[in-house]
Amino acid sequence: MMRMMIVFLFVFLAGCQNETTARKVDIYNGSGDMIGTAAFSEGKDGVNIKVKVTGLKPGPHGIHIHEIPSCKGPDFKSAGNHLNPEGKKHGLMNQDGAHLGDLPNIQADGSGKADADLTVSGATMKEGKKSLLNKAGSSIVITEDPDDGMTEPSGDSGQRIACGELNVEKNKKGKSPSDPTDIKEKKQGE
């Protein structure tokens, strides 16, 4: 019991370190237009994400954290697979799952707007195996279709239609550019 309390105290103290664990990420569609944001923050049970996007097809869409902080449209394959540091299977309904990056679907209303509060259970913005900022970082990707919660490798969720980079390097340098034309010019120069 004492040991347990010491562990709790240690975790508590570690949590008090003055690290920046809140990040806001811009989300772009396949044409390079900024369609919204995802605000990441360290929560009690994982990483909380406040997603606000527009311009989606009305209805449910899959949304996942991917392993590479790279959003090259229009297919966003550059983002890699779902973030999966523990080698699990895909799907929140899969008994051998889920990937760390698996999230419940978001719902776009009749005007194509989605506003959702999500939690990446067990993940952290701090250091660790289950950090969203391991290596170079990660990305958040929205898909055309909803995730069915079990089909490998990505829940039969269709094309990737929007993406935002949670980039360790960019965040070190400061804010990412908020003007979409800024991004386009940079991409052309690559």
Binding region for Zn ion (CB under 5 A): 82, 90, 99, 102
Which is nearer to Zn ion, 34 or 65 (by Cβ)?
A: 65
Which is nearer to Zn ion, 61 or 82 (by Cβ)?
A: 82
Which is nearer to Zn ion, 52 or 89 (by Cβ)?
A: 89
- Least distance between Zn ion and beta carbon 154 (Å): 6
Q: Which residues contact 1 (CB under 8 A, 6 or more apart)?
A: none
For the chain, give the secondary structure using H, E and C: CHHHHHHHHHHHHHHCCCCCCCEEEEEEECCCCEEEEEEEEECCCEEEEEEEECCCCCEEECEEEECCCCCCCCCCHHHCCECCCCCCECCCCCCCECCCCECCCEEECCCCCEEEEEEEECCECCCCCCECCCCCEEEEEEECCCCCCCCCCCCCCCCEEEEEEEEHHHHHHCCCCCCHHHHHHHHHCC
- Least distance between Zn ion and beta carbon 64 (Å): 6
- Least distance between Zn ion and beta carbon 86 (Å): 12
- Least distance between Zn ion and beta carbon 104 (Å): 12
Which is nearer to Zn ion, 15 or 122 (by Cβ)?
A: 122
- Least distance between Zn ion and beta carbon 93 (Å): 11
Which is nearer to Zn ion, 42 or 156 (by Cβ)?
A: 156
Closest CA to 15 of 127, 122, 100, 117: 127
